[in-house]
Structure 1
Amino acid sequence: MPHPDALTDRYSRQILFRPIGPDGQQRLRQSRIAIVGLGALGTVLATQMVRAGVGFVRLIDRDIVEPSNLQRQSLYDEADALAGRAKAEAAADKLRQANHDVDIDIAMEDVTWRNAERLLSDVDAILDGTDNLQVRHLINDVAVKHDIPWAYGGAVSSYGTTAFLQPGQTPCLVCLFGSEPGGGHDTCDTVGVIAPVVSIIASLQTAETLKYLSGNINALSQSMTHVDVWRNEFVSMQLGEPQADCPCCGQREFRALRARSDGMTVSLCGRQTIQVRPETPLQVPLDRMAQRLASLGTVTHSSSLLRCDFGAFQITLFADGRALLHGIEDAAQARSLYARYIGM
């Protein structure tokens, strides 16, 4: 256990910030958080929360480090990418070197209805670093069911959105966007992303979470913030009140948890092919999806299906959102690739 003076010195500049002070710092040290996703947003979130002295941090990610991550995912280096290290493991190693006083727990798992409550219900706040709408709906269900606030965030291209959602105090994700995750939204793998917007969105998420954990509830923004760093846009919209008729926070129907669905993945025996069938139809026409994927692989399409050859694997996408991932044997990997290239 570090000497109290050492801890005071480590966090001295944060303690000098009057809204936090010694009492707020002690609150942070006694707090527990979970970060879902350790990509661009998640690595910034994890770095800032661990360095701020939050006592317990659970890092959750299903993916490995790849060279394309290094442009914006700040906890990884070339050695991690060359070795194909698990992101949660590589991130934990770096963070423990930055602050050994924090208890860092890793979960190299795909968040589903099977494990969402186990991974997320024993913390004081949840931070969203995922790019997956189905996982966000699981986070929202757990947050509302167990009365846990969470910092929503998303960033692609040059724009991003964030909000700090508090059950009973603000609208939940379903209030804001509806109960059907849908598919076909922009992802970093289809429209790219630049690092500045990632840092801004993650920093706003961190700031709201630090306010909450340090006891500065009155300082919370109560707004949804949209940023586009390329177009010089910064827009803040009041969240308002929870909706009484919301299926989730109003009627407490936890549909994502109750769906008992893993993205409807089915292995087609003997073919090295996994079928992924999302809960809701694709929301983007195949011709638009073809335009998105054209720079990433060889694309052919008709009115009924699209095929994209990425070299190591191929995707056949049908108009209703069902996809066959060829050259893949692992269901979790298939869901990950679907989320990256199609949007889930």
Structure 2
Amino acid sequence: MSQSWTRYSRQMLFKPVGEQGQRKLDESKVFIVGMGALGTVIANHLVRSGVGHVVFCDRDFVEESNLQRQMLFNEQDVQQFLPKAVAAEQALKKLNSSVNIKGHVTDVNANNVESFIDGVDVIMDGTDNFETRYLLNDVAYKHGIPFVYGGAVSSRGMNAVFLPGKTPCLRCMFPTYGGAGQTCDTIGVLSPIVDIIASMQVMEVLKILTGNSEKLRNNLASIDLWENHSFEMKLEEINEECPTCQLKQYPALSQGENERVTTLCGRDTVQFMTANKLNLVSWERKLEKVASVKKSPYLLRAVLEEGETFVLFPEGRVLVQGTENISRAKTLYAKYIGM
């Protein structure tokens, strides 16, 4: 056993893990989408556990309201308006320098998700919306990769593991999801439920990665910490008409490339994906004439006279914050950026 594995000694004393399981963790790769409340807890546990390669994506940057529950961030990250993927990567590398950690500042969508899954053993849900979860579900079942779902809002949370070829998929369980306006930004969230759900997700992943899949829970767990309720729902029978796991159509992966304007759920924000990369230095010069501008190496933030805020990312992504009205956002975007 390598001397550097001393840090995992207590974990290896747990017989189902042991030295063999620890070696498997060291050889594993996990992909996390979303580095917010769930994602930061997930990444913290995986890196501390010695998972050899942890890669993650997030499209947002650190704000003060995140600090209540997003455990890898601090006040300095807010002051520097660091992208979450950057701040998380910096924090995680200080926890375990032997793990290969890579954060990507990007929006995961149908056009790029498959570029992140090479060699991935598990895909983990750290998101806050079902649109992205359907996307992860589809790419997981297309490529035969286990998908670990988790969600938390208010004092409630749910968790399940979906295994291609063995269990029904997320779309079998939830064929459609219209939303009920219940997000962290509308009804709040308590940090303990986030920690518990994310920890449950990681526990199931450790079972998979160490070769103990027979110990997987095989149901959908639901918990309400405030009301002291918990129950387990048996995974439904496979839907023979499911477009993902049965018909293999993967609808979330076949969206048109022109679908580049989306409303970010509960964020009072509209996102635009441009066809070209953005030169932040150039845009700083252009926008400082009409807005209060701050630039970092990772993004540019411009508060407009109208009251809304632009956030520009080098990859070509633009957030219009302060409105969920797509028409209003398009008007501002056309006025200052150009459609």
CA contact (8 A) 1:88 1:107 kept: yes
In structure 2, do the counterparts of structure 1 residues 141 and 69 end up closer, same or farther at CA, with 3 Å as the change threshold?
A: same
Q: Indicate whether 1:315 and 2:312 are aligned.
A: no
CA contact (8 A) 2:146 2:162 kept: yes
Deviation at 1:323, TM superposition (A): 5.8
Q: Indicate whether 1:148 and 2:145 are aligned.
A: yes
- Please give the residue correspondences for 1:68-217 in structure 2 after superposition, counting only pairs within 5 Å: 68-178=65-175, 180-217=176-213
Q: Which residue of 2 aligns with 1:60?
A: 57
The amino acid across from 2:256 in the alignment is R
| Cα distance in 1 between the residues matched to 2:98 and 2:333 | 40
The amino acid across from 2:2 in the alignment is P
| Cα distance in 2 between the residues matched to 1:265 and 1:240 | 34
The amino acid across from 1:187 in the alignment is T
CA contact (8 A) 2:60 2:84 kept: yes
Deviation at 1:86, TM superposition (A): 0.9
Deviation at 1:183, TM superposition (A): 4.4
Deviation at 1:265, TM superposition (A): 1.4
Q: Which residue of 2 aligns with 1:254?
A: 250
In structure 2, do the counterparts of structure 1 residues 121 and 136 end up closer, same or farther at CA, with 3 Å as the change threshold?
A: farther
CA contact (8 A) 2:88 2:103 kept: no
The amino acid across from 1:36 in the alignment is V
Q: Indicate whether 1:21 and 2:15 are aligned.
A: no
| Cα distance in 2 between the residues matched to 1:207 and 1:26 | 17
CA contact (8 A) 1:120 1:139 kept: no
The amino acid across from 1:214 in the alignment is T
CA contact (8 A) 1:275 1:324 kept: no
The amino acid across from 2:214 in the alignment is N
Deviation at 1:264, TM superposition (A): 4.8
In structure 2, do the counterparts of structure 1 residues 79 and 182 end up closer, same or farther at CA, with 3 Å as the change threshold?
A: same
User: How many residues of Structure 1 are paired with residues of Structure 2 in the alignment?
Assistant: 284
Tell me the TM-score normalised to structure 1 length.
0.77
| Cα distance in 2 between the residues matched to 1:218 and 1:11 | 23
User: Cα deviations across residues 194-235 of structure 1 (Å, max 9, x unaligned)?
Assistant: 100000100000000000010001000001000111000111
What is the SS of the residue equivalent to 1:134?
helix
Deviation at 1:185, TM superposition (A): 3.5
In structure 2, do the counterparts of structure 1 residues 48 and 26 end up closer, same or farther at CA, with 3 Å as the change threshold?
A: same
Deviation at 1:315, TM superposition (A): 2.7
CA contact (8 A) 1:152 1:162 kept: yes
Aligned-residue CA RMSD (Å): 2.3
Match of 1:229 among 225, 231, 234: 225
Tell me, which stretches of 5 or more residues in structure 1 are unaligned?
267-272, 277-308, 331-344
Deviation at 1:13, TM superposition (A): 0.5
Tell me the TM-score normalised to structure 2 length.
0.78
Q: Which residue of 2 aligns with 1:220?
A: 216
In structure 2, do the counterparts of structure 1 residues 274 and 246 end up closer, same or farther at CA, with 3 Å as the change threshold?
A: closer
The amino acid across from 1:315 in the alignment is T
In structure 2, do the counterparts of structure 1 residues 29 and 328 end up closer, same or farther at CA, with 3 Å as the change threshold?
A: farther
What is the SS of the residue equivalent to 1:139?
helix
Q: Indicate whether 1:39 and 2:43 are aligned.
A: no
Deviation at 1:134, TM superposition (A): 1.2
| Cα distance in 1 between the residues matched to 2:36 and 2:271 | 25
CA contact (8 A) 2:270 2:323 kept: no
In structure 2, do the counterparts of structure 1 residues 221 and 11 end up closer, same or farther at CA, with 3 Å as the change threshold?
A: same
CA contact (8 A) 1:11 1:52 kept: yes
CA contact (8 A) 2:156 2:225 kept: yes
In structure 2, do the counterparts of structure 1 residues 243 and 188 end up closer, same or farther at CA, with 3 Å as the change threshold?
A: same
CA contact (8 A) 1:121 1:142 kept: no
In structure 2, do the counterparts of structure 1 residues 224 and 18 end up closer, same or farther at CA, with 3 Å as the change threshold?
A: same
In structure 2, do the counterparts of structure 1 residues 316 and 220 end up closer, same or farther at CA, with 3 Å as the change threshold?
A: closer
| Cα distance in 2 between the residues matched to 1:65 and 1:15 | 35
Q: Which residue of 2 aligns with 1:5?
A: 3
User: Cα deviations across residues 3-52 of structure 1 (Å, max 9, x unaligned)?
Assistant: 81221x11000000011111111110000001100000000000000000
What is the SS of the residue equivalent to 2:39?
helix
User: Cα deviations across residues 127-156 of structure 1 (Å, max 9, x unaligned)?
Assistant: 100012111111011000000001101101
What is the SS of the residue equivalent to 1:315?
coil
| Cα distance in 2 between the residues matched to 1:316 and 1:43 | 26
